[in-house]
Amino acid sequence: MNLFLRRDFLKRAGVAAGAPLLMTSPFARAAGANDRIRAAVIGLGGRGRDHMLSLAKIPGVEVATFCDPDENQMAKKALEFEGVAGRKPKLVPDLRVVLEDRDIDVVTIAACNHWHALATVWACQAGKHVYVEKPVSHDILEGQSMVEASRRYNRIVQGGTQRRSSDRFQKAIALLHAGAIGELYMGRWLFTGPRDSIGFRDPEQPPSNLHWDLWLGPAPEQAFHRNLVHYNWHWFWDFGNAEMGNNGVHMMDILRWGLRKGLPSRIQSLGGRYGYKDQAQTPNTQTAQFEYEDGTKILCEIRGLYSNEQSGMHFYGSKGSMHLDLAGGFEIFLGRSTKPDLQSKDTGSPDDMETGHFSNFLDAVRAGDRGKLNCDIEEAEQSTALCHLANISYRLKRELSFDPASRRFHDDAEADALLSRAGREPFRIGGKV
């Protein structure tokens, strides 16, 4: 395959490196004939499948292209999609080729975490609007680049924390913001999800259907082994962000939304990989505490072995507390009450929530108004950044002091070094977006 460098891609797209790509109207293609939006799905694993099925349900959307460096995985999902939608999308292994297609209006990114930021920045530079899965970035500096690219190229970018588009969650958060439990001073979340040992897999030659260099993308060059493709990459620092970034980011986003907080000033995270020894690098058990300048705290806990408690979120205020489950049901307890003073058991359908988040994204694209987004990239980036901060504290095994304004740690070069990575040519964002 002809792998051209980023500057060549930009030249082909009709823009010099560092210069904004502007259409006659920022949303000219999306507002075309019959208001049809042509989409490409990037990454066809489990979440990519969810993307294609959600998009297939939305009127006025044509899923035109699939992109994945594993040609077998891509072809399998295309066959399934054809059975649902009645047409087979174009299959392209290289994202850069997809971005050259001027008929593509939006891309939805469900590739591995280490690809999220670069794919988003490149897509914005190519004039595409973007829906990007959680966690939206692999490190903090990447996340900032995504926000910058969205603004500079005037692109709509939605973060994939889909509970923001759930009316059940919106109702619960509105109650908090209206003072239902008084002045909020703390939030806590718990995620329980047993994970088995992944064992050990030896390096080997990549299978012929996998474009290994494309799969690695901006990650450091290394040998293929079958604990990376296609799910267990989550548990290796070069590609994933541990369970904190995998599932924890959903709850982190809800806590930050409810508390109306940005980035904290103090972070401490502890944990380990308990119960077995295997090839993975990230913790299966992790706690984290974040403190803000006004004293507000977020506490979180991940249990990757066994627990009889259910995942969920808690808010604490001067008048009472709220428990909110992952499906959107909630209970409010006021004062010393041991029985709910207000509760909602309406959890709705997860499918409606998924499709609703995509519909919200596409409505914003059609309107040319990022203000309509339920989770603009700037919101998603901050929630993801909290997960990165927790992981940096965990990896350094100590408490950290952070400056939210400069987005640097206080006199801590060791911690600052983990805010970003060098990247690998030609898969680099670079100094400017």
Looking at the chain, the whole-number percentage of residues with pLDDT higher than 90 is: 88
Residue 35: pLDDT band by 50, 70, 90 thresholds? Answer: confident
Place of tokens 């489950």: 325
Q: What is the pLDDT of residues 117-172, one digit of tens each?
A: 999 999 999 999 999 999 999 999 999 999 999 999 999 999 999 999 999 999 99
Arithmetic mean of pLDDT, 372-379 = 98
The answer to the question of residue 37 being in a domain is: yes
The answer to whether residues 169 and 222 belong to one domain is yes
User: Is the pTM of the predicted complex or chain greater than 0.85?
Assistant: yes
The total of structural domains in the chain comes to 2
Does 135 share its domain with 213? no
Are both 187 and 277 inside the same structural domain? yes
Question: Would residue 422 count as lying in a domain?
Answer: no
Query: So what's the pLDDT on residue 34?
Result: 54
pLDDT(277) > 70: yes
Indicate the average pLDDT of the chain: 92
145 shares its domain with 206 = no
Domain of 405, CATH number, reads 3.30.360.10
Same domain? 339 vs 195: yes
Query: Does residue 29 surpass a pLDDT of 80?
Result: no
The answer to whether residues 194 and 101 belong to one domain is no
Question: For residues 91 and 111, is the Cβ–Cβ distance under 8 A?
Answer: no
Indicate the burial class of 115 (C-beta count within 10 angstroms; 0-12, 13-18, 19 or more): buried
If asked whether residues 100 and 202 sit together in one domain, one would say: no
pLDDT at 197: 98
> Is the predicted pLDDT of residue 6 greater than 60, yes or no?
no
Judge whether 423 lies within some domain.
Answer: no
In three-state secondary structure terms, 10 is helix
275 with 399, same domain? yes
Which residues, including other chains, have CB under 8 Å from residue 199's CB and lie 6 or more apart? 227, 278, 279
Question: Which has more pLDDT, 231 or 1?
Answer: 231
Q: Clarify whether residues 122 and 269 are in a common domain.
A: no
Classify residue 66: in a domain, yes or no.
Answer: yes
Q: How does residue 351 score in pLDDT terms, banded at 50, 70 and 90?
A: confident
Q: CA neighbours within 13 Å on the CB side: how many for 309?
A: 12
Q: What is the CATH number of the domain that holds 365?
A: 3.40.50.720
pLDDT at 1 over 70: no
Q: Residue 115: pLDDT above 70?
A: yes
Query: Given strand 129-132, what is the order of strands in its sheet?
Result: 90-92, 61-67, 37-42, 106-109, 129-132, 157-159
What is residue 162's DSSP assignment? G
83 and 210 in a single domain? The answer is: no
**Of 427, 414, 386, 412, residue with least CA distance to 221:** 427
Helices (H), 178-288: 212-216, 242-246, 248-259
pLDDT score, position 350: 74
Residue 410 lies in a domain: yes
Q: Domain span at residue 136?
A: 6-162+354-376
Q: What is the pLDDT of residue 126?
A: 98
Percentages helix, strand, coil for the chain (3-state, rounded to 5) are 35, 20, 45
Taking residues 9-28, report their average pLDDT. 39
Question: Is 68 in the same domain as 127?
Answer: yes
**pLDDT grade for 433, boundaries at 50, 70 and 90:** confident
At 432 the pLDDT is 75
Sign of CA dihedral 333, 337, 342, 348: positive
CA distance 253 to 238: 23
Q: Give the span between the Cα atoms of 217 and 146, in whole angstroms.
A: 17
Average pLDDT over residues 296-312: 96
Q: What average pLDDT does this structure show over 357-362?
A: 98
